[in-house]
Structure 1
C-alpha cells in the first residue's frame, strides 16, 4: 500500500479506522506539517520568505500570487490543492484528510474552518471523509465553517460566521446556520 492510496480511499469516502496500518502511512505528512507549521507560526518571516515554507508544507510549488497569512493550521499538507491568486487570511484551519481544492481567485477571511473529515457515530476511531471544493473567485467570510463534501460555487460569497452544510450554487450569497441563499448575484 502506498501513501497516495490511503488518500484516495479517504477521498472516496471509504470509512477508515485511524488505527489501520494503512492510515499510519499518512501520519508522516501530519508530522511534517507540524514541523513546518511550527516554523511558519512561531517565527517572524518577511512575506517573500513564506512561499518557500508553504511549498515545503504542501509538497508542491506555490502558485502565482497566492498568499497564506500565518498563523495557519493544517493536518495533511499534501492534501491541500491551491490555485493561482488565492488569498487565505490568518487563523485558517484546514482538516484535509479527504482533500481540499481551492481554485483560482478565491479569497478566504480570517478564522475560517474547512473540514473534510467526520467520525463514524458507532466507532469514533473511524474517519469518513469527503472532499471540499471552493470554485473560482469565491469569497469565504470570516469565521465561516465549511463542512465535509461541500462545493462552493464559482463567484459565490459565504457570509461571515456561516455554517455551510449543503453545496452552494454559483453566483449567490449565503449566510446563517445552516447557510441559505440570501441573494443572487449578477441578476
Structure 2
C-alpha cells in the first residue's frame, strides 16, 4: 500500500513534526508563497493582476468576479479555494495548510484571520503542528478582525460579528458574536440592524 506523502498526511489532520524527513517539501511551498505575497503587497496592482497573483499562489483558476484588496497574508496558499463573487478586504491572514474553502458570494471583512493550523499543548510536542479545514459557505459574511479557528464551518448566509473568535461551527442563517462566538439571533430578510453589527 502506498504511503501518504506529507501533504496528504497534513490535510488528513495528522501531527506533523518539523523533524519529519519530508518537511522540506512544506518549507519549500512556504518560501514560494512568501515570495509571491511580498510581490503582491509591495506595489499597486490592477484587480486583474491581483487575481493573477492569487491564481499563482493557489495553483487554481480564479473567477473574474473575485475581488481582493491587498495587503493579503498567507503562510502557504496552495490549499485556498475561492468561489465566485467573493470579496476579501485588506489585511487578512489566511493560514491555509489545513485547507480553506470560500464558497460563492462570501464577504470577508478587513483584518480577518482564518487559521487552520495549531500546536499540541504537550510541551514535548509543541513545535509540531496539526491542521483542520475551514469552510465558509455560500453568502456568509465575516466581520472585521474576526478570527476563525481550525475545523470550523461557517454556514450559508451566516454573519460573524466584528472581533469575534469562532471556535465551533456556525449554523446557517444565524448571527454570532463574542469571544468565543455565540448565537445572537437568526438572520432575517430586510433586517437593517444586522448590518450595524459587523
- Cα drift, residue 5 of structure 1: 3.4
Q: Matched residue pairs, number?
A: 185
Aligned equivalent of 1:129: 131
Aligned equivalent of 2:44: 44
> Which contiguous aligned blocks of 4+ residues in structure 1 show a shift greater than 3 angstroms?
none
Aligned equivalent of 1:163: 165
In 2, Cα distance between equivalents of 1:51 and 1:185: 31
Aligned equivalent of 2:82: 82
- Determine which structure has more spread, i.e. the larger CA radius of gyration: 2
Aligned equivalent of 1:181: 183
In 2, Cα distance between equivalents of 1:7 and 1:175: 34
Could you tell me which runs of 5 or more consecutive residues in structure 2 were left unpaired when the two chains were aligned: 190-198
Residues 89-100 of structure 1 mapped to structure 2, 5 A cutoff: 89-100=89-100
In 1, Cα distance between equivalents of 2:172 and 2:151: 16
- Cα drift, residue 23 of structure 1: 2.3
Worse-superposed segment, 34-43 or 23-32: 23-32
Q: Secondary structure at the match of 1:126?
A: coil
Could you tell me which runs of 5 or more consecutive residues in structure 1 were left unpaired when the two chains were aligned: none
Mapped pair 1:72 → 2:64: no
8 Å Cα contact 2:47-2:68 kept in structure 1:
no
In 1, Cα distance between equivalents of 2:73 and 2:36: 10
In 2, Cα distance between equivalents of 1:20 and 1:124: 14
Aligned pair partner of 2:153 in 129, 142, 151: 151
In 1, Cα distance between equivalents of 2:83 and 2:158: 16
Aligned equivalent of 1:57: 57
CA offset digits 1:100-158 (Å, max 9, x no partner)? 11111100000000000110112112101101111110000000000000000010000
- Cα drift, residue 27 of structure 1: 1.8
- Cα drift, residue 169 of structure 1: 0.5
Q: Secondary structure at the match of 1:160?
A: coil
8 Å Cα contact 1:7-1:98 kept in structure 2:
no
What RMSD over aligned residues (CA atoms) do the two structures have, in Å? Answer: 1.6
- Cα drift, residue 58 of structure 1: 1.3
Mapped pair 1:29 → 2:23: no
In 2, Cα distance between equivalents of 1:132 and 1:24: 25
- Structure with greater strand share of residues: 1
- Cα drift, residue 186 of structure 1: 3.6
